[in-house]
Amino acid sequence: MKTAILLIISGILIGAGLSVIWLDGRKRRRGAFVSQREAPPEADPEIEITISHVGADRAEQRPPRTEYPPLPGAGSIRETPPEPQAPVPPALEQQWSALQPAIAAGVDNTNAVLASANLVINMAGDPSWSYRNRGYGAYHRLLLSGESLGWLRLELCADGQLRASVKTHKDDRSAINATAEVTAQGLTAARASELFARCLEPAVAFAARQRNDREEAASREAWASVDPVVSSALKATNGALAQAGAQLIALAPAAWEQDLRRHRMTLCVEVNGDDVGRMHIERLPHEMEVAVGVRDPQLIELGRRRRIPVDGMTIHGLAELIASCAWPAIARFRDNRRQA
């Protein structure tokens, strides 16, 4: 009896286990599908082709791929296109050539004015393009007393402006660097000259200072060479004038006179303690000049101006020249005092 009951219980348990396995198999088969298109026609109709839903879900979540059309002639390799370059105006060189007559006339006119400052715009070099083809033009040397002071670049720009630029060779002369522009269209010699004048204004000022410094140094040296003779001649003259109650008093040492561009000594002419006139002694390139003037315009005839060559000049000769220039004024005022 017990045996029979155990066999029945065992059969029930086996049947329950089979039912669980069968239900689990049914559940797994719900997640599969059959693709009739992908199955070959000769395949067994009982064969199922299954694809996991997990893989299908991932495929659905993947973003769509964007297709780009290939570049023409690029093939399968994509090349980075070159950077665009600034267009070079093909007519700029022709425009530059057309401006040359007015520019050449402007250079000639400017050089005529600059000659007094020993400044010259030299001949132009070969024309060339500037950096990145922004302009087309030529370089000129700027000469000061034959020495190259810097470069003058004259250039026609793509925007239609004619630009003149000065650039010095030395950093300590950077004050001459300058730039000026005019409209290139309808350029005339007068407008070209105006362009050069504005651009070269700092260079002209520099040249003037250089010339002034050179001339002052030369004049100082020239005066130093005659100063001992002048001092001795004045001492001798005062010795002779003392008998007439007159003397010549130097108001200051000889100094550079900017307007005259030479050294000058100024003296007071005194007669019995009264200031009656002024005397100037100047060193010229090859002569010494002595001049005397009085304050009263009515006595202008008393003024004198005489010169003596430096070459062969003696103390006695210069002293006689000084005394002869001073004596008319001294004599007149001496007589007036005596009559009073």
**How far is residue 11's CA from residue 186's CA, in Å, rounded to a whole number?**
120
Domain that holds residue 169: 92-212
Whether residues 96 and 183 fall in one domain: yes
Task: Classify residue 261: in a domain, yes or no.
Answer: yes
| Rounded CA separation 326/269 (Å) | 7
Is 303 inside a domain boundary? yes
The single-letter code of the amino acid at 167 is K
Q: What is the pLDDT of residue 9?
A: 60
Q: Answer with the one of 197, 212, 227 that is the final residue of a domain.
A: 212
The predicted pLDDT at position 316 comes to 95
Cα distances from 163 to residues 139, 155, 160, 229, in angstroms, run 12, 5, 10, 56
**Hey, what amino acid is at 281?**
I
- Per-residue pLDDT at 83: 54
User: Considering the domain boundaries, does residue 291 fall inside one?
Assistant: yes
106 in a structural domain = yes
Q: Contact 92/156 with Cβ under 8 angstroms?
A: yes
How many domains does the chain divide into? Answer: 2
Same domain for 270 and 204, yes or no, is: no
Q: Token digits for 234?
A: 């004045």
pLDDT on residue 129 = 94
Q: Are 328 and 250 found together in one domain?
A: yes
User: Please, what's the b/e burial string for 11-33 (b: 16 or more CB within 10 A of its CB; e: otherwise)?
Assistant: eeeeeeeeeeeeeeeeeeeeeee
Q: Give the whole-angstrom CA distance, residue 4 versus residue 1.
A: 5
Taking only the tens of pLDDT, the chain with its 340 residues reads 556 565 566 566 566 555 655 555 555 555 444 444 444 444 444 444 444 444 444 444 454 454 444 444 444 444 455 554 544 566 899 999 999 999 999 999 999 999 988 999 999 999 999 988 889 999 999 999 899 999 999 999 999 999 999 999 999 899 999 999 999 999 999 999 999 999 999 999 999 998 889 899 999 999 999 999 999 999 999 999 998 889 999 999 999 998 899 999 999 999 988 888 999 999 999 999 999 988 777 778 888 999 999 999 999 999 999 999 999 989 888 877 655 5
CA-to-CA distance for 303 and 45, rounded, in angstroms? Answer: 145
Please check whether residue 263 is in contact with residue 279, taking contact to mean a CB–CB distance below 8 angstroms: no
For residues 18 and 324, what is the distance between their CA atoms, to the nearest angstrom? Answer: 158
Confidence (pTM): 0.57
Shared domain check, 113 and 204: yes
- What is the helix (H) or strand (E) element at residue 100, kind and residue range? helix 92-114
Please indicate, yes or no, whether residues 274 and 175 belong to a single structural domain of this protein: no
69 found inside a domain = no
In this structure, how many other beta carbons lie within 10 angstroms of the beta carbon of residue 58?
10
Whether residue 110 is found in the same domain as residue 200: yes
Tokens of 194: 């105006």
How much is the pLDDT for 295? 78
